[in-house]
Amino acid sequence: MPAYWLMKSEPDECSIDDALAAPNKTVPWTGVRNYQARNFMWKQMQPGDGVLFYHSSCAEPGIYGLAEVVGAPYPDPTQFDPRSKYFDAKSSPEAPRWWLVDVQARRKTAPLLLTQMREDPKLDGLGVLLKGSRLSITPVSEAHWHYITTTLL
DNA sequence: GCCAACGTTGGC
DNA sequence: GCCAACGTTGGC
């Protein structure tokens, strides 16, 4: 059974346009350094899972596209690269600390802004709307996914 | 740039 | 294992 996720990306780093322009429209979801978000990618995501592609830390945060999980999780290579800002000296190839999945962009959508989502009672309980939520990857219920993808986008 | 909320670190 | 200090996220 497919699962659904909302994944935040800073558009300055990787926007939905960047993902669509990438080879095979696929980007490694690099740089996650939060255990809860890592565990979603490492232990729970399956190829074919649906992804709401969210732009964060920008002028108009919101959902800007649809994507899906492809392939199996593997260690984030940036954790081993001393020049990377995601380098983690406490990790090692023998015991990688940070795992990621590849995400393939499906299409860009009309923006569904955070402000709009907050006003929609049907989206009550959506992870990204919860008070103080900073988690960069949050599960999305099938009902929310269906509503967002068929009615709002 | 501010700051609330949250996660992590490390001394004890 | 507690918890204060610190760092980060991310909306505004």
Q: In the complex, which nucleotide's C1' lies nearest to the CA atom of residue A57?
A: C10
Give the bases of strand C that a protein CB approaches within 7 Å.
8-12
pLDDT digits (tens, 9 = 90+) for A28-59: 999 999 999 999 999 999 999 999 999 999 99
For nucleotide C12, the protein residue with its alpha carbon nearest to C1' is: A59
> In the β-sheet with A62-75, what is the strand arrangement from edge to edge?
A26-28, A99-113, A62-75, A50-55, A4-9, A137-140
Residue of A1, A113, A102, A94 lying closest to A56 (CA atoms): A113
Q: How confident is the model at residue A149 (pLDDT cuts 50, 70, 90)?
A: very high
Quote the pLDDT of residue A3: 95
Quote the pLDDT of residue A131: 87
Q: What domains sit in chain A, N to C, each tagged with a CATH number?
A: 4-152 (3.10.590.10)
A116: CB within 7 A of chain B nucleic strand: no
* Residue A21 CA, nucleotide B12 C1', distance (Å): 53
Quote the pLDDT of residue A133: 86
A78: CB within 7 A of chain C nucleic strand: no
Sign of the Cα torsion A68, A116, A15, A10 reads negative
Quote the pLDDT of residue A18: 97
Mean pLDDT of the residues in chain A:
95
A57: CB within 7 A of chain C nucleic strand: yes
